[in-house]
Every structure is written in C-alpha cells, then in structure tokens.
Amino acid sequence: MVAALFAAQETHAVAEGTANAVTNAAWLIPAIPAVTLVLIWLFGKRLPRGGSEIGIVGMLGAVVLSAVVLADFIGGGGPTVEKAVEWFPFGRGLALELGMRIDGLTAVMFVVVTVVSLMVQIYSTGYMHGDSRFTWFFTALNLFTFSMLLLVISNNLLQLLIGWELVGVCSYLLIGFWWEEKENSNAAIKAFVTTKTGDIPFVIGIFVLFAAAGTFNIGEILSLTEEGAIGTITLTAGAILLFGGAVGKSAQFPLHVWLPDAMAGPTPVSALIHAATMVTAGVFLVARMFPVFEHSEAAMNVVAIIGAITMLMAALLALVQDDIKKVLAYSTVSQLAYMIAALGVGAGNAAVFHLFAHAWFKALLFLGAGSVIHAVHANNMSEMGGLRKKMPTTYWTFLLGSLALAGIPPLAGFWSKDEIVAEAYHFGTHAEEAVGAPVVALIVFGVALMSAFLTALYMSRAVHLTFEGTYRGNGHPHESPRNMTTPLIILAVLAVIGGFVGLPGVQSGFGAWTAVGGHTHVPSANLLVMVISIAIAVGGIALGRKLYLPAPATDPVERLGWFHTLLVNKYYLDDFYYKGIVYPIRDSISKAMYWVNQNVLDGAVNGSAAAARARARGLYNVVDQKVIDGAVNGAGMTARGSGGLLKYVQSGNVQRYAAIMFVGIALFAFLFTRF
Amino acid sequence: MSWVEFAIFAFGALTALAAIAVVLSRNVIHAALFLVITLGGVGVIFLLVGAEFIGWVQFLVYVGAIVVLLLFGLMLTRAPIGRDATDNQQRLIAFGAAGVTFAVLTWLIWRTFGGEEIALEQPTRTADIGEALFTNFILPFELVSVLLLAALVGAIVLARRDEGRQK
Amino acid sequence: MSLPWLLTLGAFLFSIGVYGVLARRNAVLVLMSIELMLNSVNINFVAFDAWFGASESVGQIFALFVITVAAAEVGVGLAIVLLIFRNRKTINVDEVDLLKW
C-alpha cells in the first residue's frame, strides 16, 4: 500500500499546474506523527526525556514539510493534488479510499496544526515535567496530531469521518488525562458525548450526500454541486446535517457546553486541541464543503445565525468567569462563532484567515495562562494579580496575545476579524452578491461589533486581574522555565506578523492561497468599518482598565443582578441538559430498559428455554415413556399374554392333539376333493 | 350274487359290528376279545377274496400273537374296568372326527370306484407271493427283518427291570 | 364282488379306529384301535390287489409288510406302556401329561 502511494496511483482527477515533490508526497506529513507516536509508546520510557525528543524532532520535520507544501500555494493559483488508494472495498464498486486532497486550505491547515503541535510539545516538556504519565502524554499528543492531519488531508468523507472520530477520542483521552479526579473524567465524558450528539446528523449528512452524488469523494461531490447535478433540497439537507457535526466539534450553540468543562485537562491540551486544532475541524469541514453550502441559501442562513448567537452568548459568559482558562474557553467559542458566521455570510476565505490568526494568539494565550497557573498553582484570577513584575515574559506575550484577540492593528487578529466584519457589512449592503439573506449578514455585522466590544472588555479584565495590581494569592510565583517561555515568544511573533499575509486588497494574499469555495478575490479595505472596529476595541480595553485596574472587591459585573446570575448559571443550559436529558435517561429510561432486558428479553430467552425443556420433558414423559416404551413393553406383554393364552393348547393330552390333527386332516382332505 | 359275495358281506358286517364293540366296550377284556372277532373276520374276508397267504398270516400273527400280547399287556398293567377307566372326555370330538373321516372317505370311494367289480376267480398262489417277495421285494423284506430285530431288542431294553442300577 | 363295498368296509374300520384312538383312555385300548386302523389299510390293499389282478400281487406283499410292522409296533408300544405303568402306576393316557404347560 505504501509503495502504491509512492507510485503515484491516481484514482481521481489531478493537478492543474505542477506541484512540487513534497506536495505530491504530502501524505508524509500525517505519517510522521503516526510513526513517532508508536516510537514514543514503545521506547519513550527508556529515553532520557521520556520520549518527548522523538515527538519534537518528528513534529519539527512535519513543520518543515508543511512549509514546503505551503510554498506551492503562496501567491495563489496552486494545484489541487489528489491521490488515493483503495483500502477497503465494500462491494458493488464502492470502496473506502485512503486518499489525500492537497489544496491551499489543506496546506494552511497543515502549517497551523504542525506548528501549534510543535509549540505545545516543547512547552509540555516543562509543564508536564515530573508527571507520572509523561510518556503517555506525548504519545497521545502525537496521536491527536496524526488524527487531525488525517482529517485535514482526506479526499473523501469517510476518511474525514475517521479522522473526525479519532480526534474526538484523543480529546477524551487528553481531557481525562488526570482521571483520578472524578470531575476530570466527567468532563471527558461530557465532551465526548456532546460532540457525539453532533456527529449523528453529521453521519446522516454524509450519507445524504452519498445518496445524491453516488460517491464519498469530496472532489466529485463538489464538482457535481457546481454543475447543479444535485437538487437544492438535498444540498440544504446535507449541508445542515453536516453542520450539525461542526456545531458539536466547534462548540457552537447549543452544543458548546463541553468546551468550558474541557478545561479540566492539562493546559497544553487546551492550547492544542481546544484552541487551535480540534475545535477548528468544524470550521474546516464547512470550508471544505463550501460549495455545498453556497448552493443552499437556507443552509447559509442557518450557519450564520448559529454563529451570531454563539458569538454574543459566549462573549457574555466570558465576562463572569473567575477561572482564567474558562475565560479563554468561552473566548474560543466566541471566536469560532466568528469563523462560522463568516462562513455563513459567504466569506469563506475570511473565516479561514481568522482560523489561521486565531490559532497563533489563542494558543499563545492558553500557554501563557498555563505558565501563570504553573507559577501560582491556581486557576482562579481572584488568587492572582500583580504578576506583571514577577513573570515578565509571560506578561508581555500574554498582553500581545490579548491585543491580537481584541483586534488592535497591526496585530494578526485585527486583519482577520476586520475582514470578517467588512465582508458581513459588504454582503449585507450588496444584496446581489450575498449568498445568504442580506439581512442575516447585517445581523452578523451588528453582533460581530458587539462581540468585539465584549471581547476587548473581557480580555482587558483578564489581563488586569491576572497581571496588574497586587498579588492576592498564597504562593511564590516566578517566571516559567525556558522550555515554556520559548514557545510563548515564538507564538507571540506569529501573532504579530501573522496577519500580514492577508492584508486587504492584496490579491496574492491569504484568500488566494486558500481559495475557499473557489473564490480567490481578496476584498479591499473598508476604512469606515476598520475605524469603527478599532474604536470599539480600544473602548472595550479602556473600560476594562477603568473597572479592573485596582482589582475591585466585588466584580462590577455582579451589579447586573439577575443578568449576572443568568450568566453565572450559563443561561441554565447545562441544567436543562442534565435535568431534561441526562437524568431522565439515566434514572427512568435506563432503568426501564434494564427492566425490559431482564424481564422481557431475558424472559423470552429463558421462557423459550423453559418451554423447550418442558416440551422435552413432555416428550420424554408422554412419548418416550408411555408411547414408545408402551409400544415396546406392549409388544413384550402381548407376546407374553398371547403365550399365556396359547399355552392352554399344550394340554399334554396326546389324544387331544391327535383329535385336532384328525379334524384338520379331514378338513384338508375335504378341501382337496373340492379343488 | 354268489355265495362268496354273500359270505363276504356277512363277514364284513360281523367285522364292522365287532369293531364297534371293540371301541365301545367298557370292559377291556371284552374289548380285546371283540378285537379277536374283528381280526378274525378280516382274515376270513382275505381268504374269501383269494389272498390265502395273507389271510392265514393274519390269523397267525394278529389273532395269535398280537392279541395275546395285548392281553398280556392288559393283565400286567392291571387295567381297570368301567366307563371312567376306559373312555375319556373328548368322545364327542372323536365321534365327529371319525364321522367326518368316514364321510369323506366313503364319498371319495364311491365317486372314484363306484361300480367297479372284483373278479373273484383263482386265489393267489402262495408260491407267486414268495417268488415276488424274494426277488422284486427282497430289499423291503430284509429291511422289515431288521425292523423286527430292532423292535425286539428295543422292547426288551425298554421293558426289563434295571436290577443292576436300582440296588 | 363290488369293489366299493370292500373299500367302504375298510373306511368304516378306519373311522372306528380313529374313534377309538381319540376316545379311549387306556393306552392298551388305544393300541387296539391302532390295530383296527392298520387292518383297514390291509383290507384296502388286498381289495385293490384283487381288483388289479396283476401277477405279482404287490398289494398282498405290502399287506404282509404292514402286518409285520404292526407287530413290531405293538411290541414296542406295549414295552413303553409297561414302563409308564411302572413309573406312574397308571396307563391312563390322560394322566401322561408331563408336557403340559
């Protein structure tokens, strides 16, 4: 199979333009973590650094390869390379393919996943130092990276689904890494079950598209969609069902509830999986299948509305959190909603650009939070404060990340967020270019601006509560070691310069690279929108500084009263899920099912066994004992009885015998005379 | 009818009646004596028919030896006298069997040989019988001799007292 | 002389002999009845022989053999009767039923 992949076995249409050698062999990129995870698992414990050496070196190689692949797509107009081997034939001409589809989107995702994974692995050598399951941690990290790359590289929906499910499993394993605490394993289960709930419509959607297109291959589905060979209703259904998976995986409303709880896992895990990679899989899916969405106005509207709702809702929730990781978690949900909303209004390239930029600064923020947590041994911001002087590197990198997130130019977050907002405004005001309803785009525009304000506000709150003022905790915080601060610095640099690849109006920029849905146009700058965005961001930061600079005794947010309570209880959504769904199933339905199983099913089985036994017993008693034995015994008894009767013939009286003989002879003689 | 035929009829009737008496008599000695008459009557018929040799052999052997033997037997076994001693319970069946036998035989005889005549001319010469006996029938003759010997030996063996073993 | 009447006599004697064999209780009386039957056979032989009129007189020779065999048979029979009388003190044929069930 490996040789076949090398031997350029192309089962689908190939390149427009020439790809370099690495791009043609881009399947090596997922192969590297696949190999390293096995090596770490087998040999990690014996190595001096617990296997992390293998992981880091391997991931470094993957980063280099990803950069070479990306080189093919820089400047736009890159080829789409597709290769596949038939892996598992289903019969009737169908087969599970193992294939790769390399285009600009794939290349960008490669870079994001491998770089963040590398940064996290370097960071983990410091953060997880001394943990008893250090080697397993690295094995799981590499397993996750492999799964994510497998998902991204897929050329067909089934392989994508395999990668999708695998990242879900890795998420479960890594969230519950410290499973000795019950709440950690609960969080892992909650994450798994919630994303699985989203996977149900996802799988149905895959099969809807399969039924319509006759194939699982993404390229063919997309080209059939472009040709109009699939009906709009089918496309709407398929798109919305696929989006269900994205809602689960990317933690959008109403399946966002798992992401805050997932913060129970180690912080490097939060940085890798729940900021930059796994949660972006939903965005990636929609971007990959963008033509399917674009051809259905209803689906686009659904996507946009969900994005808008989540965006605002999560930002509000981030405002009332005390745990620094939970702030970042809700922030992630909100930023993912930006990407989803961008996709919903038709700005696919903007969404992926924001994914790209967000990966850098969110990973940076998480790792920075981890550094703080590692130093003060607490998650809650109420126990922090005044760390600015004690942890300068962490402080400056964290600050840069926050500014990027808030959208201050010229940092990466500004360019990407601004593109989304501008596009939403553009589609809202130019109805003829909008794919979804223009009013939806305008709603997205408005909500995005509100969320931007809130984003700036809660990040400003977080920064001030954590680093400014005086230290409120009980520990002795100090700066983290170099293996933890180095990734922070690298990511900070990326957060600063990362946005320059997608400057508005530059047609050879990021949008041309990714070409989501085939669109390569990079929108030009809308100065008005830019100014409004900057003003909102600055305003949010200023308000945060005013409210939280000397850390107040009571959080001003609490002055919102009932609204504050609503937010603290997460809109009672978790309560609804637990009391409305989980407990009834666990307490009533499960018990009822158990009763059915024990009494009805087992009863049926036992009953049929008992019936068979009774039948056998009856058969034995009646048929065997009475009938058959009766026949046999009866034969014997008949013989004896008839013998008993016949014996009287033997009278012993010879004359009697003679008499009978004579009578017989006479009769015979008579008969002979007759005949 | 010539007087020979008449004699045959008369002696035949006598023989028949005596035979009936043999089987119906309640006194065993009387039965034996009636048997003498029967056998004698049969012998006379032989003579009248012309089988002289056989007739005289009949008298010699049957009447002379066999009846005596039977009488000896009766005496040695102290045969009791009386109805219950001489006749058994199945007289009716016996009568039926005899009757059926007689009926069938008679019907056969009259059907087959009704109207045949015997020519009573010359009696058979004994010399002829002797000649046939010792030429054509020598083998049966010898066999019968052996049979007699065997019967003689057997009767002695059966009837003697086992004095050697009993004591 | 008409043949059938002689033969009828023979048949009659035979039937009477049959009656005697079946109806008599004393073994010696049974032997007597057997003699009757044998005599009836002799009558038949002689009658047929006379009717045939052959030079060899086969019938008579056979009648001779019958007489001889009858004699032998009576001898042996009486020997057996005597044995039974010695063992059972009776020659009642009814009481010799050891082969009874």
pLDDT tens-digit map of A231-257: 888 888 889 999 999 999 988 888 888
Q: From CA A80, how far away is CA A74, in angstroms rounded?
A: 13
Identify all chain C residues contacting B77, using CB atoms and an 8 Å cutoff: 27-28, 81-82, 85, 91
Average pLDDT over residues A159-163: 92
For the segment A312-321, what is each residue's pLDDT rounded down to a tens digit?
A: 999 988 888 8
Give the tokens for residue A443: 């709603």
Whole-angstrom distance, CA of residue B19 vs CA of residue A483: 150
CB B88 within 8 Å of CB C24: yes
Contact C34/B at CB under 8 A: no
Contact B51 C5 (CB under 8 A): no
* C60/chain A closest Cα distance in angstroms: 26
Distance CA A157, CA A210 (A): 9
Is the Cβ pair A652, C100 closer than 8 Å?
yes
Distances (CA, A) of A288 to A15, A61, A407, B72: 17, 26, 26, 139
**B11, HSE (Cβ side, Cα atoms, 13 Å):** 21
State residue A10's pLDDT score: 46
* Contact (CB<8Å) A654/C93: yes
Contact A409, A403 (CB under 8 A): no
Q: Do B120 and C63 touch (CB under 8 A)?
A: no
Q: Which residue of C has its CA nearest to B85?
A: C25
Q: Round to whole Å and give the CA distance between A314 and A321.
A: 11
Neighbour subunits, C (≥3 Cβ pairs < 8 A): A, B
Hey, how many other C-beta atoms are within 10 angstroms of the C-beta on A649? Answer: 10
Tell me which chain A residues have a C-beta less than 8 angstroms from the C-beta of B110.
none
Instruction: Write down the pLDDT at residue A612.
Output: 87
Q: Is the pLDDT of residue A509 over 80?
A: no
A667 touches chain C (CB under 8 A): no
Q: Which residue of C has its CA nearest to B83?
A: C25
DSSP A248-292: HHTT-TTSTTHHHHGGGS-HHHHHIIIIISTTHHHHHHHHHTHHH
Q: Is C52 on the interface with B (CB under 8 A)?
A: no
Subunit contact A662:C93, Cβ cutoff 8 A:
no
Write the residue in C22, C97, C98 that is nearest to A658 by C-beta.
C22
Cβ under 8 Å to C: B residues 110-149: 110, 113-120, 124, 128-129, 132-133, 136-137, 140, 144, 147-148
**Contact predicate A138/A123, CB 8 Å:** no
Q: Which of A662, A665, A671, A674 to mutate to test the interface with B (most CBs of B within 10 A)?
A: A662
Q: What is the pLDDT of residue A527?
A: 84
Q: How far is C33 from chain B (nearest CA, A)?
A: 7
Among B15, B101, B114, the residue with its CB nearest the CB of C18 is: B101
Is the CB of residue A653 less than 8 Å from the CB of residue C94? yes
Contact predicate A445/A355, CB 8 Å: no
Q: Report the pLDDT value the prediction gives residue B96, as an integer from 0 to 100.
A: 87
Do A650 and C94 lie within an 8 Å CB cutoff? no
CB atoms under 10 Å from CB of A483, counted, come to: 16
β-bridge mates for residue A156, sequence order:
A217
Q: How many Cα atoms occupy the beta-carbon half-sphere of A451 within 13 Å?
A: 33
| Yes or no, beta carbons of C14 and B147 under 8 Å apart | no
Name the pLDDT band for A5 (thresholds 50, 70, 90).
Answer: very low
> In which band, very low, low, confident or very high, does the pLDDT at B164 lie, cut at 50, 70 and 90?
low
Q: Does A645 touch chain C (CB under 8 A)?
A: no
> pLDDT, tens digit, for every residue of B67-80?
999 999 888 888 77
Domain B1-100 fold: Four Helix Bundle (Hemerythrin (Met), subunit A) (1.20.120)
Mean pLDDT over each residue of chain A, to the nearest integer? 85
Q: Is the pLDDT of residue A3 over 60?
A: no
Where would I find the H helices in A498-627? Answer: 510-514, 527-548, 562-568, 573-575, 583, 590-595, 602-618
Nearest Cβ partner of B86 from C21, C26, C57? C26
Residues A305 and A440 sit within 8 Å (Cβ to Cβ): yes
User: Among A324-328, A342-346, A573-577, C31-35, which is the least confidently predicted range?
Assistant: A573-577
Residue among A651, A654, A662 whose CB faces C18 most closely: A662
Q: Which helix (H) or strand (E) holds A209?
A: helix A182-213
The torsion angles phi and psi of A556, rounded to 5 degrees, stand at -55, -25
Neighbours of chain A (3+ CB pairs under 8 A): B, C
- Give percent of chain A with pLDDT exceeding 90: 27
Chain-chain contact of B93 with A659 (C-beta, under 8 angstroms): yes
Q: Is the pLDDT of residue A374 over 90?
A: no
pLDDT (average), residues B150-165:
82
Which residue in chain A has the smallest CA separation from B112?
A673
d(CA A239, CA A336): 18
Is A669 an interface residue toward C (CB < 8 Å)? Answer: no
Number of B–C residue contacts, CB under 8 Å: 255
CATH architecture of the domain C3-88 equals: Orthogonal Bundle (1.10)
Beta bridge partners of A154: A100
Residue of A655, A656, A669 with shortest CB distance to B104: A669
Do the chains contact at A663 and B97, CB–CB below 8 Å?
yes
Which residue of chain C is at minimal alpha-carbon distance from A657? C22
Neighboring chain B residues of A663 at a CB cutoff of 8 Å? 93, 96-97, 100
Q: How many CA atoms lie within 13 A of A357 on its CB side?
A: 38
- Decide if pLDDT at C62 tops 90: yes
In percent, how much of chain A has pLDDT > 70?
96
Chain A residues lying within 8 Å of C101, measured CB to CB: 647-648, 650, 652
Q: Mean pLDDT throughout A454-475?
A: 85
Instruction: Measure B91 CA to nearest chain A CA, in Å.
Output: 10
């038939």: which residue's tokens? A86
pLDDT for res B124: 85
CB contact under 8 A, B90 and A670: no
Residues of A in contact with C99 (CB under 8 A): 650, 652
Write out residues 516-555 of A within 8 Å (CB-CB) of C.
none
Contact assignment for A670 to B94 by CB distance below 8 Å: no
A575: left (phi over 0), alpha (psi -120 to 50) or beta: alpha
Res. A11: pLDDT tops 60: no
Q: What's the gap in Å between the CA of A639 and the closest CA on chain B? A: 30
- A663 to chain B, any CB pair closer than 8 A? The answer is yes
Q: What is the mean pLDDT of residues A362-382?
A: 88
C94: closest chain A residue by CA: A653
Phi, psi of B68 (to 5 degrees): -60, -45
Count of other CB atoms within 10 angstroms of residue B108: 16
Interchain proximity B69–C74, CB inside 8 Å: yes
Report how many Cβ contacts below 8 Å link chain A to chain C: 30
Q: Does the CB of C56 have a partner CB in chain A at under 8 Å?
A: no
Average pLDDT over residues A417-440: 83
One-letter amino acid at A63 equals V
Residue A468 confidence (pLDDT) above 90? no
pLDDT tens, residue by residue, A253-299: 888 888 988 998 899 998 998 887 888 899 999 999 998 888 888 89
As given in the structure block, the two tokens for residue A362 are 């969110």
Q: So what's the pLDDT on residue A76?
A: 65
Q: Give the closest of A655, A656, A662 to B101, CB-based.
A: A662
pLDDT value at C82 more than 80: yes
Asked if the C-beta of A658 comes within 8 angstroms of chain C's C-beta atoms, the answer is: yes
Nearest to A435 by CA among A204, A236, A230: A236
Give the pLDDT confidence score for residue C18 in this predicted structure: 92
Least CB–CB distance from B86: residue in C6, C29, C82? C29
Axis-axis angle for helices A654-674, B91-113 (nearest 10): 30
Distance of CA A523 to the CA centre of its chain: 31
CB B94 within 8 A of CB C19: yes
* Yes or no, beta carbons of C36 and B22 under 8 Å apart: yes
pLDDT in tens, B13-66: 999 999 999 999 988 899 999 999 999 999 999 999 988 999 999 999 999 999
Structural domain spans, chain C: 3-88
What pLDDT is stored for residue A359 in this prediction? 92
Task: Give the residue from A310, A331, A336 showing the smallest Cα distance to A571.
Answer: A310
Task: Test B104 with A663 for CB contact under 8 angstroms.
Answer: no
Q: Which of B88, B94, B97 sits opposite A666 (nearest CB)?
A: B97
DSSP conformation class of A378: -
DSSP code at position A480: P
Local confidence band at A18 (pLDDT 50, 70, 90 cut-offs): low
Site of tokens 């107009």: A77
Chain B closest-CA separation from residue C8 CA (Å): 6
Contact residues on chain B for C72, CB-CB shorter than 8 A? 147-148, 150-152
pLDDT, average across residues A368-390: 85
- What is residue B166's predicted lDDT score, i.e. its pLDDT? 53
Q: What is the DSSP letter of A479?
A: P
**A54-109 pLDDT, tens digit each:** 889 999 999 998 888 888 788 666 667 777 777 777 777 677 888 888 888 888 99
Q: Where are the domains of chain B?
A: 1-100, 124-167
| Measured distance between the N- and C-terminal CA atoms of chain B, rounded to whole angstroms | 68
If 0-12 CB within 10 Å is exposed, 13-18 middle and 19+ buried, where does residue A568 land? Answer: middle
- Chain C residues within an 8 Å CB radius of A645: none
Which residue blocks in chain B are alpha helix, DSSP H? 3-24, 28-49, 52-57, 67-76, 83-86, 91-113, 126-135, 138-159, 163-166
